[in-house]
Amino acid sequence: MTAQLPVPTRADSANSVATAAAVVTAVILWASAFVAIRDIGAALGPAPLALLRTAVAAVALTVVVVVNSRGKPRIPRSPRALGLIAGYAVVWLAGYTVALNASERHVDAGTAALLVNLAPLLVAFGAGVLLKEGISRMLMLGALVSLAGVGTIAVGNTAHRDVLGVLLALVAAVLYAAGVLVQKAALRYADSLVTIWLGSIAATIALLPWAPQLVHQLAAAPPHAVIEGVYLGLFPTAIGFAAWSYALSRTEAARLTVSTYAVPAVSVLMSWLLLGEAPTALALIGGAVCLVGVAISRRARPPAAFSGLDRPVSAESDGKL
> DSSP string spanning 45-61?
-HHHHHHHHHHHHHHHH
User: With b meaning 16 or more CB within 10 Å and e meaning fewer, what string describes 174-196?
Assistant: bbbbbbbbbbbbbbebbbbbbbb
Cβ neighbours for 215, distance < 8 A, ≥ 6 positions apart: none
Kindly state whether residue 194 falls inside one of the protein's structural domains.
yes
**pTM for the full predicted model:** 0.78
Write the DSSP symbol of residue 104: T
Kindly state whether residue 246 falls inside one of the protein's structural domains.
yes
d(Cα 312, Cα 26) in Å, to the nearest integer? 9
Kindly state whether residue 130 falls inside one of the protein's structural domains.
yes
Kindly state whether residue 1 falls inside one of the protein's structural domains.
no
User: With b meaning 16 or more CB within 10 Å and e meaning fewer, what string describes 253-273?
Assistant: beebbebbebbbbbbbebbbe
Q: Taking the mean position of all CA atoms in its chain, how far away is CA 233?
A: 13
Cβ neighbours for 117, distance < 8 A, ≥ 6 positions apart: 173, 260, 261, 263, 264, 290, 291, 294, 320
Write the DSSP symbol of residue 5: P
Q: How many domains does the chain have?
A: 1
Q: What is the pLDDT of residue 307?
A: 38
| From 63-67, 113-117, 168-172, the region with the lowest mean pLDDT | 113-117
Q: Convert the pLDDT of each residue in 203-262 to its tens digit.
A: 999 999 999 999 999 999 999 999 999 999 999 988 887 787 677 656 654 455 556 667
Kindly state whether residue 318 falls inside one of the protein's structural domains.
no
Could you give the 3-state DSSP secondary structure of residue 291?
A: helix
Kindly state whether residue 197 falls inside one of the protein's structural domains.
yes
Q: Where are the alpha helices (DSSP H) in 249-312?
A: 253-257, 262-270, 281-297
Kindly state whether residue 9 falls inside one of the protein's structural domains.
no
Q: What is the mean pLDDT of the chain?
A: 78
Residue-number span of the structural domain to which 35 is assigned: 22-297
Q: Convert the pLDDT of each residue in 70-109 to its tens digit.
A: 767 788 888 888 899 999 899 988 999 999 999 999 888 8
Length of the chain: 321
Give 312's pLDDT tier (boundaries 50, 70, 90).
very low
Kindly state whether residue 189 falls inside one of the protein's structural domains.
yes
Q: In this structure, what are the phi and psi dihedrals at residue 122, rounded to the nearest 5 degrees?
A: -65, -35
